[in-house]
Structures are given as C-alpha cells and as structure tokens.
C-alpha cells in the first residue's frame, strides 16, 4: 500500500505535463486570434456561419451538440466522481496541488514548517523513521521554485489564449509584445504571492473546482472518506500525530468529515499511519471507507447519537 504515493506521483506528473503541453500540441486551447477553440488539432467552432447568412437552420442544433451536451456530460462525470470520492481530481491530478506539495516539502526543509502560517515546526523525524533536519540553505531553493513555477504557470496560461508557437518564439527571441510581456509579468508576480503565502487558502476557498467537489462530497454521507479505528485509539498516542503532520492541506485527519472539508484524498495521512504503525500487528488505524462504513466519520459525533438511538430501539424490541 505504500506504493500509493508513487502511483499518485505518476498521475500528478503526467497530468502536469499534459497541462503544460496541451496548447503547443494543439490538444486543447482557446485561440483568441482565430476566435475559437482548438481541440485535438481541429477547429472547434459553433458552426453558426451558415445559419447567420441564412443558408442553414442548424444553428440551434450546433449549439446544443457542440456546447451544451459536452459541457453537461463533463459536469455529470465531474459531479459523480465528487459525489462518490470527493476531491479526487485535486489530490491525484490538479497541477496547482502538485505545486502546493512541492513547495510544502521545500519550505519544510528550510524552516521545519510546510507553510509560513504554521505555528510550530513539524517533527524532523518523519513517519517512515527518516530524519530530515532543518537547513536554512534551502530558502534560496524555495524562492527559485516559487518563481519558476509561477513563470511556468503564467506562460502556460498565455499559450492557452494565444498561439503557443508565437509566444515561445517571441520569448526566445526577446520580441514579446507589450501586452504579452505585461501578462507574463503580472501573472508571474501574482502567482509568486499565491504560491508563497496563499496556496492552501486558494485550494480551500478560492478554487471553484475544489469548492464544488467539496460541497458535493459533503452532501453524500456515504462518500469515500478517511476514517479512524477509534476502538484502537490508544495505539495512536505514540505516533506524534504523524497523519496530521503529513497532510499537505494541514487538516485534522482524525476528526470527523466536516473538519476535512478540503480533503484532497491524496492519502498521505494513510501512508504516514501505515509507516508509523508498521510494527503493529493489527495494522494502521486510518483507512479509506465508503458506503455504510462512512456514516460514522460523516456524523459530527462519530455516530455516537445514532448508535445510542439504535441501542434504545433494540432494547424496546427485546
């Protein structure tokens, strides 16, 4: 099960490459110079030209089949995945969350804290037993990573809007137009601020995709969620909150579902629990659960009130 993080790294890395390479490979982009989308190398237009000149009445049909049906299909799949599994996209694919995790790791090496807002440094000994001392020499690496990722994001977003060949050519020859240079400069500056000080806040409260997944997930009490075996909670005392320390979103992983509103299902808390409990014959205390098994984690009191009510009913029956 430790292979989970290696698998996630492959998914994240592959999707990040797709995010960066989709425009130059013409997989998907909006070309403002042409006024329409490019999808897998083909022009994706509404096909309204014949209807506008009165030679065809297929305008409404084209809008329905080329706009509403594709968008509706994507939304249905998106909602279904979020309903059953929560923010699976965030933890396993999202290119922004990849940056969050990388900067978290580098910042922890530099200061002992994965975020500048963290109150106390995390333990230098990780759940797998490896000792990672704090080294302030990592701060230049943190700064370089932040600026590099900010520029890559700004450049990639620009290529989603303008022909990538034009942007890359102008960049390499130093012939960016005023608007292109202004976009890259302002976007890079804003991303530097966000990646440095607000990356977690953006994931929690600023990302519409993440928020939509969270709200849909919270509405389903039987959706997949991290749950703790509370009957064995004594075994959790000696681990030093390894699961909470491993969470890149800085959540209370052993609490009820409402405390994990922004959970990205990355499974790092599960991996930390597995590592810290490696000598425990009963295994780790944290598990992914869903269906009826997820109800306890979804209740505000871990299902204690429901259990008491069922106990009273069974007493009346007997």
**Span 70-91, average pLDDT:** 95
Domain assignment present for 67: no
Q: Can you read off the two tokens belonging to residue 33?
A: 């110079």
Is 50 exceeded by the pLDDT of residue 1? no
The region that residue 40 occupies, defined by phi over 0 for left and psi between -120 and 50 for alpha, beta otherwise, is left
Domain assignment present for 102: yes
Domain assignment present for 75: no
Where residue 108 falls among pLDDT bands split at 50, 70, 90? very high
pLDDT in tens, 15-26: 999 999 999 999
Lowest pLDDT segment from 18-22, 111-115, 189-193, 299-303: 299-303
Domain assignment present for 277: yes
> In which domain, by residue range, is 18 found?
4-45+86-117+132-213
Are 251 and 200 found together in one domain? no
- The candidate with the shortest Cα–Cα distance to 92, out of 266, 272, 271, is 266
Q: Which positions ≥6 away from 268 have C-beta within 8 Å? A: 5, 246, 247, 248
Number of domains in the chain: 2
Other beta carbons within 10 Å of 34: 11
Distance CA 252, CA 14 (A): 29
Question: Which residue has tokens 């009346």?
Answer: 316
Are 32 and 107 found together in one domain? yes
Are 202 and 292 found together in one domain? no
Q: Which positions ≥6 away from 288 have C-beta within 8 Å? A: 224, 225, 226, 227, 265, 267, 270
Are 17 and 162 found together in one domain? yes
Q: Which positions ≥6 away from 135 have C-beta within 8 Å? A: 109, 110
Domain assignment present for 32: yes
Distance CA 170, CA 179 (A): 12
Q: Can you read off the two tokens belonging to residue 122?
A: 């995390």
Domain assignment present for 174: yes
Are 140 and 209 found together in one domain? yes
Are 182 and 273 found together in one domain? no
Q: What are phi and psi of 279, to 5 degrees?
A: -95, 0
pLDDT in tens, 93-107: 999 999 999 999 999
Domain assignment present for 126: no
Of residues 317 and 153, more confidence is placed in 153
């Amino acid at each position: 099960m430790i292979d989970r993080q290696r698998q996630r790294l492959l998914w994240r890395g592959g999707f990040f490459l797709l995010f960066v390479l989709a425009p130059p490979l013409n997989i998907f982009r909006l070309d403002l110079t042409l006024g329409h989308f490019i999808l897998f190398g083909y022009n994706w237009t509404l096909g309204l030209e014949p209807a506008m000149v009165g030679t065809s009445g297929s305008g409404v049909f084209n809008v329905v089949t080329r706009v509403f049906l594709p968008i509706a299909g994507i939304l249905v799949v998106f909602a279904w995945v979020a309903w059953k599994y929560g923010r699976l996209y965030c933890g396993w694919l999202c290119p922004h969350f990849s940056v969050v995790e990388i900067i978290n790791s580098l910042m922890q090496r530099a200061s002992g804290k994965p975020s500048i807002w963290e109150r106390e440094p995390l333990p230098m000994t990780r759940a797998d037993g490896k000792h990672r001392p704090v080294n302030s020499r990592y701060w230049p690496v943190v700064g370089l990573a932040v600026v590099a990722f900010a520029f890559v994001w700004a450049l990639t977003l620009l290529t989603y809007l303008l022909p990538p060949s034009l942007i890359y050519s102008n960049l390499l020859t130093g012939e960016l137009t005023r608007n292109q240079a202004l976009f890259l400069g302002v976007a890079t500056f804003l991303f530097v601020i966000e990646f440095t000080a607000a990356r977690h806040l953006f994931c929690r409260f600023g990302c519409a995709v993440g928020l939509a997944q969270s709200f849909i997930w919270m509405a389903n009490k039987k959706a997949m969620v991290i749950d703790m075996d509370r009957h064995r909670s004594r075994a959790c005392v000696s681990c030093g909150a390894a699961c909470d320390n491993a969470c890149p979103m800085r959540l209370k992983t052993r609490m009820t579902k409402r405390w994990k509103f922004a959970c990205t299902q990355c499974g790092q808390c599960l991996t930390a629990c597995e590592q810290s409990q490696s000598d425990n014959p009963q295994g780790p205390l944290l598990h992914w659960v869903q269906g009826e098994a997820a109800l306890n984690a979804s209740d505000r009191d871990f299902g204690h009130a429901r259990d008491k009510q069922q106990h009273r009913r069974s007493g009346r029956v007997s």
